[in-house]
Structure 1
Amino acid sequence: MAEDRAGVVVYWRPGCPYCMNLRLQLRFSKLEYTEVNIWRDPEAAAFVRSVADGNETVPTVTVAGKAMVNPSRRQVMDAVRAQAPGPGA
């Protein structure tokens, strides 16, 4: 299930400018993360709806299982440092 994905997971969908921006910013960091296209993964889409008041609001990012809806790069990196310290944080 989508909720069981470990580490940092970025849920996104094609055509989303906010997703494109965050994904580009994260690619320039040393952070290791997994990207999940919610249009290709129904369980991931359901997970995003469960944490975004029934909406498929992306990007949604989980860090050590804690979800953030439409976070900034800084919020993601702060969460990584707080929740999952280690390489790339």
Structure 2
Amino acid sequence: MLRRWLLAAVLLTLGVILAMTSGWPFLIVFALLALVASPLLFPRSIPAAEAQRRSAADGRAIVYWRPGCPFCVRLRATLGLRSRRAHWVDIWRDPEGAAAVRAVADGNETVPTVILAGTPHVNPDPRWLRSAL
């Protein structure tokens, strides 16, 4: 669980150190970066089995992600409120989700990996996914 927050904690600590030496604007900038790197901005993750069950029932996409991944942050930011139209699986929390990603990404845990209409897309273009959702 700690590694989910490691990047955010490092950024916040760096911001505090820089704020003490160079001024408070650094704290604000690094606090915002820590927020973006944290799991807080992502929709609530569910287990892979539950996401697959829900996706089969409602046809929504499944997005496999992990905290601290800049490509996941970019995808989430591009999707905006449309991110709620997908089921999100944190592969660091769910070993079954990590295995699903490895199965479609040549044994690597490359995220974001999106399953849309049964077809896997490894690190898709966020604008494409936004239009597909």
Q: TM-score range by the shorter chain?
A: 0.7 to 0.9
Bigger helix share: 2
Taking the aligned partners of 1:38 and 1:26, their CA distance within structure 2 comes to: 19
Residue 53 of structure 1, aligned match among 101, 106, 114: 106
Q: CA RMSD in A?
A: 2.2
- The ranges of structure 1 where at least 4 consecutive aligned residues each deviate by more than 2 angstroms after the TM superposition are 1-5, 28-31
Gaps of 5+ in 2: 1-48
Please identify, of 61-70 and 30-39, the stretch whose mean Cα deviation from structure 2 is larger.
30-39
Q: Report deviation, 1:30.
A: 7.3
Aligned residue in 1 for 2:65: 12
Task: Give the count of matched residue pairs.
Answer: 80
Unaligned runs of 5+ in 1: 81-88
Aligned mates of 2:92, 2:82 — CA distance in 1: 25
Asked whether the equivalents of residues 57 and 69 of structure 1 are also in contact (C-alpha less than 8 Å), the reply is yes
The correspondence of residues 3-82 of structure 1 with structure 2, limited to 5 A, is 4-5=52-53, 6=55, 7-29=60-82, 32-77=85-130, 80=132
- Give, in angstroms, the shift of residue 35 of structure 1: 1.1
Query: 1:43 and 1:70 mapped to 2: Cα distance?
Result: 19
Cα deviation digits, residues 33-81 of structure 1 (max 9, x gap): 1111000011110000000000000000111221100001233245x3x
Structure with greater strand share of residues: 1
TM-score normalised over the length of structure 2: 0.53
Q: 1:39·1:45 contact (CA, 8 Å) conserved in 2? A: yes
Ranked by relative contact order (alpha carbons within 8 Å, sequence separation 6 or more), the top structure is: 1
Check conservation: 1:10, 1:62, Cα contact below 8 A: yes
Distance 1:8 1:41 in 2: 17
> Are the equivalent residues in 1 in contact too, given 2:110–2:122 (CA < 8 A)?
yes
